[in-house]
Amino acid sequence: MAEHADHAGHPESAGHAESAESAESVDGTGRTENADHPAYPVGLRLHGRRTVVIGGGQVAQRRLPQLIATGADITLVSPSATPSVEAMADAGEIRWERRRYQDGDLADTWYALVASSDTAANDAASAEAERTRTWCVRADDAEAATAWTPATGRSENVTVAVLTTTSQGRDPRHSAAIRDAIVEGLRDGTLAAPHHRTRTPGVALVGGGPGDPDLITVRGRRLLAEADVVIADRLGPRDLLDELPPHVEVIDAAKIPYGRFMAQEAINQALIEHAKAGKAVVRLKGGDPFVFGRGMEEAQALAAEGIPCTVVPGISSTISVPGAAGIPVTHRGVAHEFTVVSGHVAPEDPRSLVDWAAIARLRGTLVLLMAVDKIGAIAAALIAHGKDPSTPVALVQEGTTAAQRRVDATLADVGERAVAEDVRPPAVIVIGDVVAVGPDSAPQLDAPSAD
């Protein structure tokens, strides 16, 4: 997570929790003469309460989104603003008074953020905040402020706020590093925080991404860490299963009774049974649950039983695997569209729902999944319907993992090349001119190391 600091050098990530320091005495600018007492952390509930921001520059741009999220009644006082801040005003999220600060602007204000480039105006605003007993953050002078903004981060519905509570030895980078470590631990499950309130049993359909365990979503990783039961696909990110707590029951979907490639009904029944037993269940899939993942079939089965179901989208291999192999599925001047097709049914099979003649006429990129053993027949069908035999093709096996490899071919010889190179599933096949647009024919971009 990135580290942030404002002009005064203290963390600038605004959030739901603020910290206030009471002063023993102040000078005319609101500056404390005795700053030895620690700040008192407190969460401000600003919904519907007047909040004033002085200055429309970069500090305001960074802090306003979280103030808006609190539901505060925000007035911006500044003769100018960044384009992003202007957009917030245009959208009606804040009121903008296009002028300099004037005495009286903080009347009836609960919270003020003073962040203009005019030091005299900032001092005057601080003095008014002291007179009106308004909590005031100074972006340019933390010692003149009556409130400090902590380094904040969020995980689910929890806000983590880290603050150095005394003015001596304030180290905002250290605070930000502590925040990052806590939030990252909550998100990836390495920092376990058990729920002490009753959880609602149910099922989460989690897209695990293309294979690299780092490519699962933050929410998906958190739900895995909180699960009682995980029913995993063969194509799910296997390394994540090793990180689960020992009490989590991991079920390999391929080994549930009714055959190695079990009927979907058996998977549905396993999800239902564990959820009805009061368990928090994660159905871990490769890629995205709704891209050839039968996710909707499972969601429908759960809905029929009245079982709550959460869908967590995943990074689809249709885009990420070509990207990891240096292939953009679209490229300006080359491809304005890409089409994703399941190749598990051959073109001549009467069960096929694909209009291969129409696919052959498209000028954009064709991405095939589950097509390794059918690629010869698919290429022949595309050529028969008019596709240029010299069209570039790339087969990317085990994309985004340490075993990733790329085999290049043309539509004319891809069937032979796949056999000669012993390409095996899982593999994503890309057909189109985008295959050849990279700096070289087969780059390896950001592929994980084997160690």
Average pLDDT for residues 145-149, to the nearest whole number?
Answer: 90
Residue 223, classed as helix, strand or coil, is helix
Contacts of 201 (CB under 8 A, 6+ apart): 275, 276, 277, 278, 279, 280, 281, 307, 308
Residue 375, classed as helix, strand or coil, is helix
For 194, 241, 282, the CA distances from 229, given in Å and listed in that order, are 16, 11, 6
| Tens of pLDDT, residues 171-196 | 777 888 888 888 888 776 667 666 55
Distance CA 155, CA 419 (A): 47
Average pLDDT for residues 301-326, to the nearest whole number?
Answer: 96
pLDDT of residue 222: 86
Cβ neighbours around 279 below 10 Å, total: 18
Find the range with the poorest average confidence among 218-222, 235-239, 447-451: 447-451
Distance CA 322, CA 92 (A): 41
Nearest alpha carbon to residue 247 among 288, 280, 271: 280
Nearest alpha carbon to residue 112 among 30, 24, 7: 30
Distance CA 331, CA 287 (A): 23
The residue that leads in pLDDT, 32 or 299, is 299
Distance CA 374, CA 228 (A): 39
- Tell me whether strands 17-20 and 147-148 are parallel, antiparallel or unpaired: antiparallel
- What average pLDDT does the structure give for the chain? 85
For 83, 112, 183, the CA distances from 79, given in Å and listed in that order, are 13, 17, 37
E strand or H helix at 226: helix 218-226
Distance CA 211, CA 275 (A): 26
The residue that leads in pLDDT, 394 or 245, is 394
**Rounded to 5 degrees, what are φ and ψ at 152?**
-120, 150
Distance CA 100, CA 48 (A): 24
Find the range with the poorest average confidence among 13-22, 144-153, 273-282: 13-22
Q: Is a pLDDT exceeding 90 seen at residue 106?
A: yes
Q: What six digits make up the tokens of 302?
A: 């759960």
Whether 254 contacts 240, CB under 8 Å: no
Q: Is a pLDDT exceeding 50 seen at residue 424?
A: yes
167 confidence band (pLDDT: 50, 70, 90) = low
Q: Which amino acid is at 127?
A: A
pLDDT of residue 165: 66
Total H helices, total E strands in the chain: 11, 20
Q: Is 3 exposed, middle or buried, given 0-12, 13-18 or 19+ CB atoms closer than 10 A? A: middle
Find the range with the poorest average confidence among 2-11, 135-144, 208-217, 266-275: 2-11
Find the range with the poorest average confidence among 20-24, 315-319, 404-408, 410-414: 20-24
Average pLDDT for residues 5-21, to the nearest whole number?
Answer: 35
Average pLDDT for residues 381-392, to the nearest whole number?
Answer: 98
Provide, rounded to the nearest whole percent, the portion of the chain with pLDDT above 90.
Answer: 65
Contacts of 408 (CB under 8 A, 6+ apart): 392, 393, 394, 395, 435, 441, 442
